[in-house]
Structure 1
Amino acid sequence: MAQEKYAIIDIGSNTIRLVIYTRDKSGRFTESENVKAVARLRSYLNEENILEQEGIDILIKTLKSFQGVTRHHQLEAIKCVATAAVRQAVNQDDIIKAVQSETDFSIRILSEFEEANYGYLAVVNSTPFTSGITVDIGGGSTEITYFKNRQLIYFYSFPFGVLSLKEQFIEGDMPTKEELRELRSFLKEQFDQLEWLNDKRLPLIGIGGSARNLAQIHQEHIEYPFSGVHQYVMSKDDVEDINELFNSLEFSELQRLEGLSKDRADIIIPAVEVFRYLMELIDTKQFALSRKGLRDGVFYEETTKGFDLSVFPNVVEESFHELAVDYDINLTHAFHVSTSAMLISKELEKLGLLSLDEQDDKRLKLSSALYNLGSYIDSESSHQHTFYLLSNRTIDGLLHKERVIIALMASFKNRNVFKRNVALYEEWFTKDELAKYTLLGAIIKVAYSLNATKRDIVETIAVEEKDDVLVFSVHCREDWKPEQYQVEKQKKHVEKQLKKSVEFKFDS
């Protein structure tokens, strides 16, 4: 795309949102502006499915306020999409004409399939889940998809959402016990129609504002030590605990609950009831949050037109490419550090000193490629910056625990710094896991030293044990003295973890 900026307006049944994307130095578009208006258009859809004039007026007024922003940014490429409230309106032609005549925008009404498909695209392009069930509950519709091996298998769009459920079943601000019983009975009747949901035992992945609020509330409730909600995972018990919390509060207390948007206080309970029943039906213990949703799906489709790449080949590789561009990573150097780290780990495995599974291999490759990334900010305190950057930046394709593991290994300086960095997250790991990640961090540090001059001179590494001493034989294609000097300084970290003496022998 030739433009520097691009915008999407999402006309939902509960909220209307303008998101502006700006092209960064890597050539990709990142979100730069996000403007939200609570319009609740679904509330103006009468029994004859006519969107009343008051609702149309609110829509026009909101779009005119967005128009001031889009004109300021001189935007021409603006996608304006509408979902259930406009899709279900029998007077949708009148709505489209009113918007076209009174604003700069032209509405595209998304079909049920398009709305579900965009949610699925957002999830498979920004999370590590290869198979799962997505649920996107809006104000006037609920989209469910089942994807397997990153391919969409089934989808369904229900013509109800949090606003219509609230209107249909809950008279006051908070539901009575009888109202909850009726709501649960209705949800069971509706969702049980989808036989392909039964006992899938796959993660339920929530999309949209209600799912995001649930994750935010839980993070506040447990004083979660990590930043961001994208790819946050809750257990079934976690969801039940928050549901019990909601039902124990007065409405005024619910409105003040940390993590909950005040404008969602009266509709969060119907949303959580949807999540609870779907988890039971699917027989899953995992509820995950995808902060990426419909708008991101539209964007992925738009920016990959003509390339047949609406599903990215590998989410983590895409994320690594973004990090490499943002922090000026030397890719050739990163490749050689990663190769040396893998060679050393495989040699130690042969000696029975290390045991890695497929996931550990992936962690080692990524961490070694990102090692010392913080030098982009300041070389003197690069390890500190590396840990901060990797643990506080959302990295698509990595769940939160995984991100901490990568940050710990990629920022390894010594055992004491490792312990300080992991202190907030220590309860996430076993002692054996921490010992393994400390050793892998030490291996990466040695691998980094073996390319100290960035000449990529190491060709082979072999390790053998002689009289309780680990002898590393390193074959190089050029003079290796600078590398030898650095390795002699850093080998102590491997010695401490393995409790063995280490000797390096170089030849060329």
Structure 2
Amino acid sequence: MERIAIIDLGSNSIRFVIMQIGAHGSYKLVYQEKKSIRLAEGMTLDSRQLTEEAQQRALQCLTVYAHIMAVQKVKKVLAVATAAVRNAVNGASFLKRVRLNTGIPMTIISGKAEAALGFSGVAHTIDRKDFLLFDLGGASVEISLVKNKKRVHSISIPLGAVTLTEMFHSSGSVPYDMINEIKNFIQKKLAEIPWFPKEPMEVIGVGGTVRNLAKVHQRASSYPLPKLHNYNLPVEDLFALVKSICGKTYEERQKISGLSEERADIIIAGALMVQEIVRKAKSSYLTISGCGLREGLFFHYYDPIYDREGSWKQNMLISSVKNYLYTLPLEYDFHTAYVTAMALSMFDQWKKMHRLNDRMRNLLYAAGLLHDTGTIVNYYSHARHSAYITANAHIFGWSHREQIMCALICAFHHGYSSKFLKSNSHVRILSDLQMKEVRMMALFLSLAEGLDESHEQCITRLVCTASREALDLRIYTSRDNFDVPAHAVQHLIKDFAKTFRRPLRIQWFPGSSSRNELAEEAVKLDFKPNE
């Protein structure tokens, strides 16, 4: 086990995290703190000097972090300074003070490196192929064009939420003419980017301004899921939100639900930058990334040691689910992989009947692996505990709706429950079609769970066929007695008929095979957390 500290010294905030890497290369966040230090405050374009007050605020934080690292037995430190230190004439001397006072070795990274690391943080945590990425900080904005999951162009512009605010004196009430002046200035800067896409393109945003805008939008709409990463903010709502913020005084902005009070003075300039980037990209929505530079630093260290083959990006969701499971105090047995293999077998063989796509197969795969996580809370009602854990787990590679769908599949792995739905506020972000898909996949998982009720893995083969009249399931077992699984799946037959609008007919073939095909498929899932 090793612990790695990551420090991102930005122009507005300083962020500090500790990541723990354990068995199988599994990793998890064990500590996090963020502090607004306004390092770029008072640093004009003419003087380009970090003020003594700003340096002292940063040194005070870093001294605390050095102590925490000692207590947490951190052996590796990845610490970088971005635009404010990069642009300051006294930036290098400031980092010498940091090393002398705290012992923390900090590196100034270029705008190009900052863009590359930010892209890595997003590419490892949001599963998109083509998009425009921007990371808006206090003193700079990094913009990258991504095609087929590769960063093809990047630029760092030395303008951020803090520097724009000071340039236009927009911390208080801002008149309409000045709003237009800021917008025109930003538009001219963006027009100088020769590779900026002319056709509509998805936009992913990173940074405190982006996260705060998303928080305000979520609060205003009573969004039921407490999660910002991969949240989609519709462009119409974004523009209306920015217009509303720009029309308020500083005191009024401090009272906006979801907006950090410490950001109320710089939000107008930052929000206008976000708006103009999204407008120029002609995107229909802005996707918020809660991951960026810090995660990029982590994966820059992690990948060459623990993921040389790049398997994480090949199936981000399943890789992330397995990583999450490895960090839990679960007693693993073969049952989890075996049930998952049976559920996937039914999904594949009945594909022409249910017509669900491969993405839904991935969700069923994830639910299969996660469906018993609730036992770490309590065996009683563990399906509902599994649903809560899944809905709140730090797992990458799926949308908010997909995460809730997976949680519901876990909740129903012993059968459908309308009572649970009525008490679950997350359900309202799903459409009727998505709820129907949940019920289908939950039936495959609950049937697989019932077939291994005794945890004996005695089901060796499943043959699933469908006609207009019925769904047929032929079950081959390695034992002569199949009373336990037959009893466990009996109550699901009615649910199958209701969901698929045709009866389920089950035939049993006891003692018919010595080879367990399903166990072989379970092994191929490569899930062995306690070995």
Quick check: TM above 0.5?
Answer: yes
In structure 2, the residue matched to 1:167 is 166
Contact 1:418/1:438 (8 A) holds in 2? no
Q: Distance in 2 between matches of 1:17 and 1:424?
A: 32
Residue 426 of structure 1: CA displacement?
A: 4.5
Q: Deviations over 1:243-294 (max 9, x none)?
A: 1331343321211222111110011121221121111211111211111121
In structure 2, the residue matched to 1:185 is 184
In structure 1, the residue matched to 2:452 is 451
Equivalence map 1:61-72=2 (5 Å): 61-72=60-71
Q: Structure 2 residue aligned with 1:500, among 492, 499, 502?
A: 502
- AA partner of residue 360 (structure 2): D
Change in CA separation of 1:288 and 1:422 when aligned onto 2, cut-off 3 Å:
farther
Residue 374 of structure 1: CA displacement?
A: 1.7
- AA partner of residue 472 (structure 2): V
RMSD: 2.5
Change in CA separation of 1:318 and 1:469 when aligned onto 2, cut-off 3 Å:
closer
- AA partner of residue 12 (structure 2): N
Contact 2:384/2:410 (8 A) holds in 1? no
Q: Distance in 2 between matches of 1:310 and 1:342?
A: 24
- AA partner of residue 192 (structure 2): Q
Could you tell which deviates more after superposition, 446-455 or 384-393?
446-455
Q: Distance in 2 between matches of 1:196 and 1:344?
A: 47
Q: Deviations over 1:394-445 (max 9, x none)?
A: 3211111110111111221433347616852454333333223212212211
Change in CA separation of 1:53 and 1:427 when aligned onto 2, cut-off 3 Å:
closer
- AA partner of residue 51 (structure 2): E
Q: Distance in 2 between matches of 1:493 and 1:57?
A: 65
* Gapped regions of structure 2 (runs ≥ 5): 513-531
Q: Distance in 1 between matches of 2:448 and 2:232?
A: 33
Q: Distance in 2 between matches of 1:396 and 1:345?
A: 23
Contact 2:179/2:246 (8 A) holds in 1? no
Q: Distance in 1 between matches of 2:48 and 2:369?
A: 56
In structure 2, the residue matched to 1:241 is 240
Q: Aligned pair 1:41/2:39, yes or no?
A: yes
In structure 2, the residue matched to 1:460 is 461
Q: How many positions carry a matched residue from both structures?
A: 504
- AA partner of residue 391 (structure 1): A
Q: Deviations over 1:377-397 (max 9, x none)?
A: 222201211111111223211
Q: Aligned pair 1:358/2:355, yes or no?
A: no
In structure 2, the residue matched to 1:319 is 320
In structure 2, the residue matched to 1:195 is 194
Change in CA separation of 1:202 and 1:459 when aligned onto 2, cut-off 3 Å:
farther
Q: Distance in 1 between matches of 2:479 and 2:370?
A: 25
In structure 2, the residue matched to 1:407 is 407
Contact 2:85/2:92 (8 A) holds in 1? no
Could you tell which deviates more after superposition, 87-96 or 131-140?
87-96
In structure 2, the residue matched to 1:284 is 283
Change in CA separation of 1:489 and 1:329 when aligned onto 2, cut-off 3 Å:
farther
Residue 361 of structure 1: CA displacement?
A: 2.2
In structure 2, the residue matched to 1:381 is 381
Partner secondary structure for residue 41 of structure 2? helix
In structure 2, the residue matched to 1:141 is 140
Residue 231 of structure 1: CA displacement?
A: 1.4
Change in CA separation of 1:25 and 1:258 when aligned onto 2, cut-off 3 Å:
farther
Q: Distance in 2 between matches of 1:310 and 1:500?
A: 43
Residue 121 of structure 1: CA displacement?
A: 0.6
In structure 1, the residue matched to 2:150 is 151
Q: Distance in 2 between matches of 1:457 and 1:295?
A: 47
Q: Distance in 2 between matches of 1:7 and 1:439?
A: 44
Contact 1:128/1:399 (8 A) holds in 2? no
In structure 1, the residue matched to 2:123 is 124
Q: Structure 2 residue aligned with 1:337, among 331, 339, 345?
A: 339
Contact 2:311/2:319 (8 A) holds in 1? no
- AA partner of residue 503 (structure 1): R
Q: Distance in 2 between matches of 1:499 and 1:119?
A: 49
Equivalence map 1:200-349=2 (5 Å): 200-306=199-305, 308=308, 312-313=312-313, 314-325=315-326, 326=328, 328=330, 330=332, 332-349=334-351
Residue 120 of structure 1: CA displacement?
A: 0.5
Could you tell which deviates more after superposition, 313-322 or 380-389?
313-322
Partner secondary structure for residue 491 of structure 2? helix
Q: Deviations over 1:196-253 (max 9, x none)?
A: 2223533211112111111111111111111221111111012122113313433212
Q: Distance in 1 between matches of 2:434 and 2:297?
A: 40
Partner secondary structure for residue 32 of structure 1? strand
TM normalised by structure 1 equals 0.91
- AA partner of residue 345 (structure 1): F
Q: Deviations over 1:170-209 (max 9, x none)?
A: 3451322111111111111111222322235332111121
TM normalised by structure 2 equals 0.88
Q: Distance in 2 between matches of 1:371 and 1:236?
A: 36
Q: Aligned pair 1:396/2:393, yes or no?
A: no
Partner secondary structure for residue 30 of structure 1? strand
- AA partner of residue 444 (structure 2): I
Q: Distance in 2 between matches of 1:310 and 1:82?
A: 28
Q: Distance in 2 between matches of 1:468 and 1:76?
A: 65
Q: Deviations over 1:456-489 (max 9, x none)?
A: 3334323456894433211233345122222223
Residue 334 of structure 1: CA displacement?
A: 3.2
Contact 2:27/2:323 (8 A) holds in 1? no
Q: Distance in 1 between matches of 2:349 and 2:28?
A: 42
Could you tell which deviates more after superposition, 30-39 or 144-153?
30-39
Change in CA separation of 1:299 and 1:488 when aligned onto 2, cut-off 3 Å:
same
Change in CA separation of 1:440 and 1:28 when aligned onto 2, cut-off 3 Å:
closer
Residue 106 of structure 1: CA displacement?
A: 2.1
Q: Distance in 1 between matches of 2:135 and 2:310?
A: 19
- AA partner of residue 173 (structure 1): G
- AA partner of residue 334 (structure 1): T
Change in CA separation of 1:171 and 1:429 when aligned onto 2, cut-off 3 Å:
closer
| Identical aligned residues as a percent | 23
Change in CA separation of 1:80 and 1:363 when aligned onto 2, cut-off 3 Å:
closer
Q: Distance in 2 between matches of 1:220 and 1:467?
A: 48
Contact 1:375/1:385 (8 A) holds in 2? yes
In structure 1, the residue matched to 2:522 is none
Q: Deviations over 1:290-349 (max 9, x none)?
A: 111211111111223456467833321221112332263747433332332233334444
Contact 1:446/1:491 (8 A) holds in 2? no
Could you tell which deviates more after superposition, 469-478 or 125-134?
469-478
Partner secondary structure for residue 43 of structure 1? coil
Contact 2:318/2:365 (8 A) holds in 1? no
Equivalence map 1:474-485=2 (5 Å): 474-479=475-480, 481=482, 482-485=484-487
* Gapped regions of structure 1 (runs ≥ 5): none
Change in CA separation of 1:329 and 1:437 when aligned onto 2, cut-off 3 Å:
farther
Contact 1:174/1:266 (8 A) holds in 2? no
- AA partner of residue 371 (structure 1): H
